[in-house]
Amino acid sequence: MAYVEKSSFERDMNYIPDRITAEPGKSRDTLAHQGVAGPDVEHTTWPVEPGRYRLVAAKACPWANRAIIVRALLGLQDVISLGMPGPTHDERSWTFDLDPGGVDPVLGYERLQQAYFERIPDYPRGITVPAMVDVPSKAVVTNDFPWITHDLFFEWTEHHKEGAPDLWPAEVREEMETVMKRVFTEVNNGVYRCGFAGTQEAYEDAYDRLWTAMDWLEERLSDRRYLMGDAITEADVRLFTTLARFDAVYHGHFKCNRQKLTELPALWGYARDLYSIPEFGENTDFEQIKQHYYVVHKDVNPTGIVPKGPDPAVWLEPHDRASLG
């Protein structure tokens, strides 16, 4: 995930803006995701076509982990293949070091960078995950992560499994957009704002903003099972991937240490509740998460030492939240 180095952390939100839609040139939903999906730019559309695209997404990365979870929730595993880079990478690119010979078996690439260069030679920005890749041309289609999960729901509807959850319920969608915007700016991005602050003042401002939002979430989840009520939505996916990394990484590595997640009763129960759902829990890999942050962020952790804890077994403890919905 690219970012701009200043005293205060700023995320580079300029992505390849193409989209994959059921009807090329059109989309089934026109919400702008202002403040979430980056600048307002004209989209080029590609056709929905089972078997044509490969989602490249690392379990280590919270933004990519969203796409893996949504793909599983909607039952798109046989429609969109999944390539998974390893948890660490160098300055050039994510690499496929988990695959035999270090080569993605479908794309034939050692580095995700190759798919970017196939589309845009000498692509000048960061090589990020998740990325949707067109298998016939082996070229990246888009890396615009909020739109990827949005379109998996709205544009691939005909290929969803029976009983797939309604991740964008119409009756709460407007409020959900507001909730997701705050979760993104203050929590998903807020932990990075703490971790990459360049001055004490910038860090303390980021810390205060993060914990104001965490307190808001703790209160919101004290009397409802999920962020929008009785059923999981896209908003829950987006929050979960940050919570799953909180105690293992953000609490210490990013200095977000007012409290641990395990010390926040509502948020901790909520996180365990989601983790108990196979599509969430089975796609959460705490070892890969720790390897990624503690090895890749050499400026934050120059020794590269990866902590042994915390014990992931605590995630299996009963959450006792079924009574809320």
Active site (annotated) includes residue 61 = yes
Cβ atoms of residues 143 and 16 within 8 Å: yes
- Name the DSSP class of 161: P
- Residue 53 pairs in a beta bridge with 134
Does 94 carry a binding-site annotation? yes
Q: Of the residues 15, 61, 116, 293, which is catalytic?
A: 61
Alpha-carbon distance 63 to 1, whole Å? 8
Q: Could you please report the per-residue DSSP string of 177-221?
A: HHHHHHIIIIIITHHHHHHT-SSHHHHHHHHHHHHHHHHHHHHHT
Alpha-carbon distance 20 to 2, whole Å? 23
Question: Which residue reads 């701009």 in tokens?
Answer: 4
Q: Of the residues 15, 53, 109, 192, which is catalytic?
A: 192
Nearest residue to 115 via CA among 99, 101, 134, 130:
134
In the annotated binding site for glutathione, the residues are 94
Task: Report, as residue numbers or ranges, the catalytic residues.
Answer: 61, 192
